[in-house]
Chain A
């Protein structure tokens, strides 16, 4: 699947970057290389672009460009779960 189909709060592993340079090249230079974990954090208020987290920093990508990034091993974002469950724990006491 592609990064475009990834829902906010989910993480995937980059498999390949398709498309032509220079757009592809820019994505690669920004650290989006095969094997790296990538997650979608948010969608902009008007639905596009998306806030992406990769290699510990955040960047904004348009859905059009997110289609170029193929991902695999998709799973729900652990970090987010942890944070929410922590909140729940705190509330319980």
Chain B
């Protein structure tokens, strides 16, 4: 049995989904985080729960609304759970009224009922239930209160469902009925009648021009007779009148609310003078924890674990069993070191994701988007693009997916094109390796300059694209600022576990096989003989083909070319390839083969060139056009080669 979960963005829908299904998926405070269709099983009740994207209305304005509406109309779920944010019932009920018109069994869940009690608000749930004609269940998704009751009511409702009838103000109701008489009854006529009354373009498509003329006649009469003389306004107003009636009768807010925490916090966080310093401070704190403080400590611990506690005993065991040298080389020098060099960065990546998810869950991310909107507007984007951009520092793949929260195709496309320039977490191992060898003293500065350079490139490309290919007008920026909330630790750890699992799977599959392939290609010649001298190997040949192309960038060595190629599979592979290529000790190897300037430009190239297969395939999916995919590939290659060339060559001149 399919049950759809539907509600406004930020009403706790994803949290409820997790607590009902126990699935581990992303929970955020950013409006519209749920863009993918997610299905979970509620085993106890034999129900498939479908998590629909967060929407404000069933008018197909944004992509999410189209997804949700199409799902309901085409797949016809057997039931709908409509979740409402109890602290913001008025706007949430606007959607509920539209859902009621669908004629599918509905149960409403009023979330955060525990918070409401604390605030001294009183809600007459029974009264609401009687008025709406459907069950109204107070729940708390975060604490799991009443979720069993909710499911039981849903199952009961499915068997004993009576179509609720909502009465709109007389004029509106009269014209809705007029239209309803003109269309055939297909179970959704109560839903389509008001949509046709307000001339919803998506709905009109299914009718003949003669029918459309009749609808138009009714709609224009409606405009004349209604108080507001506008079909869209009048209908929305009628709905809100019903909502106000409910609110007036059944919702009694505490008349003397204490100033809420959000208001107090916003006085400081969004203060005209303090906002930007706080914002920069927070970003700095995150970067510091990830890259210097805690992160480095954990990384060293991991290195110790891998090298001293695992590699040496393992190597001893293999040798003592008298296996041939090449097997030992493949196992230890190839596979083990390849994987361990990447695993050492797991702690840092997890810390970064932890910080980002805290920002998002607490509601600060939306404030950051609010602050940054003015700047992002200048490169043709909106504040909402800030989230994908910031997530891009973690991993480009989810970041590109997050771009779906934007309403307008143009914004979405531009964000997808620019996000890869944000240096992703998988590139960190590369920076860590190179700065560790060449820039030990100025590590922070060099890292900062790289991240900054990435952002600068994004800005420049944004400006360029805005004035060339993306000239069309910009979408309106309407974004809800959710109240501050305590991040749920459970969902944060779910998320971290998910990331760690993803990373480990990647290490076990892609990086494992890459390490084997690279080790073999490096130790086998074109004639398929094992050789001692690496320059004659298959990899050596490929590398020497690339070397002259890369020479003007300051790293014209075979190894650099090979490492960059393997980076197309996964950015972590750059380090593991270098480790294998330099015989297990990358630090010594790069110290011998790179100049400091060359090392810096190598990092710049890694920062800017085409992202890994997983990110790139996500981009292909989101851009939905071969032309744009090709464009994005070229954009990144040109930017990477051009900027690295510029930096290396001007660096050479300055040194001279």
Contacts and interface: CB of A to CB of B under 8 A. Distances in A.
Nearest to A50: B370
Contact of B56 (A16, A30, A56, A62): A30
A31 to B, nearest CB: 5
B481 A60 contact: yes
Contacts of B481: 51, 58-60
A21 B61 CA distance: 9
A42 B270 contact: yes
B370 A51 contact: yes
A81 interface: no
A48 B375 CA distance: 9
Interface in B202-250: 228, 232-233, 236-237, 240
Interface in A14-44: 16-17, 21-31, 33-36, 41-44
A83 B479 CA distance: 27
A36 B91 CA distance: 12
B259 interface: yes
Contact of B91 (A25, A30, A49): A30
Interface string B57-100: 10101000000000000000000000000001011001000000
Contacts of B266: 41-42, 51
B477 to A, nearest CB: 5
12 contacts: A25-B61, A26-B61, A28-B233, A29-B61, A29-B94, A34-B237, A42-B266, A43-B272, A46-B371, A51-B481, A60-B370, A60-B481
B233 A33 contact: yes
A31 B89 CA distance: 12
A64 B61 CA distance: 19
Given A17-B233, A28-B233, A49-B374, A62 B91 contact: no
B170 interface: no
Nearest to A86: B259
A35 B270 CA distance: 29
A61 interface: yes
Nearest to B272: A45
Given A25-B61, A30-B478, A45 B237 contact: no
A23 B370 CA distance: 18
Interface of B: 56-57, 59, 61, 88, 90-91, 94, 228, 232-233, 236-237, 240, 259, 262, 266, 270, 272, 275-276, 369-371, 373-375, 377, 383, 407, 475-481
B59 A48 contact: no
Q: Is the interface of B mostly helix, strand, loop or mixed?
A: helix
B276 A65 contact: no
Contacts of B259: 83
Contact count band on A: 35 or more
B368 to A, nearest CB: 11
A65 B478 contact: yes
A22 B478 contact: no
Interface of A: 16-17, 21-31, 33-36, 41-49, 51, 55-62, 64-65, 83
Given A29-B61, A34-B228, A60 B236 contact: no
A25 B65 CA distance: 13
A34 B236 CA distance: 10
A62 B480 CA distance: 12
A69 to B, nearest CB: 11
Given A31-B94, A33-B233, A55-B90, A60 B477 contact: yes
Given A30-B478, A51-B481, A56-B88, A44 B370 contact: yes
B477 A33 contact: no
Given A45-B270, A62-B373, 15 more contacts: A16-B233, A17-B233, A25-B232, A30-B478, A30-B480, A34-B233, A34-B237, A42-B266, A46-B371, A48-B374, A49-B374, A49-B477, A57-B91, A59-B479, A62-B377
Given A55-B91, A60-B481, A29 B275 contact: no
A22 B61 contact: yes
Contacts of A21: 232
A62 to B, nearest CB: 5
Nearest to A54: B91
Nearest to B89: A56
B351 to A, nearest CB: 28
Nearest 7 A-B pairs (CB), nearest first?
A46-B374, A23-B476, A29-B57, A58-B481, A45-B275, A28-B236, A60-B479
A14 B228 CA distance: 12
Contact of B476 (A26, A36, A43, A47): A26
Contacts of B56: 26, 29-30
Contacts of B369: 60
A7 B232 CA distance: 28
A58 to B, nearest CB: 4
B150 to A, nearest CB: 24
B90 A62 contact: no
A55 B241 CA distance: 12
A56 B119 CA distance: 14
A67 B259 CA distance: 30
B122 to A, nearest CB: 15
Q: Which of B228, B276, B371, B481 has most chain A Cβ within 10 Å?
A: B481
B90 A59 contact: no
A62 B375 contact: no
Contacts of B57: 29
B477 A62 contact: yes
A48 B90 contact: no
A21 B60 CA distance: 12
Q: Which of A25, A60, A62 has most chain B Cβ within 10 Å?
A: A60
Contacts of B370: 44, 49, 51, 60
A83 B369 CA distance: 28
A4 to B, nearest CB: 13
B477 A65 contact: yes
A55 B237 CA distance: 13
Contact of A47 (B88, B240, B270, B374): B374
A25 B489 CA distance: 37
Contacts of B374: 44, 46-49
A61 B478 contact: yes
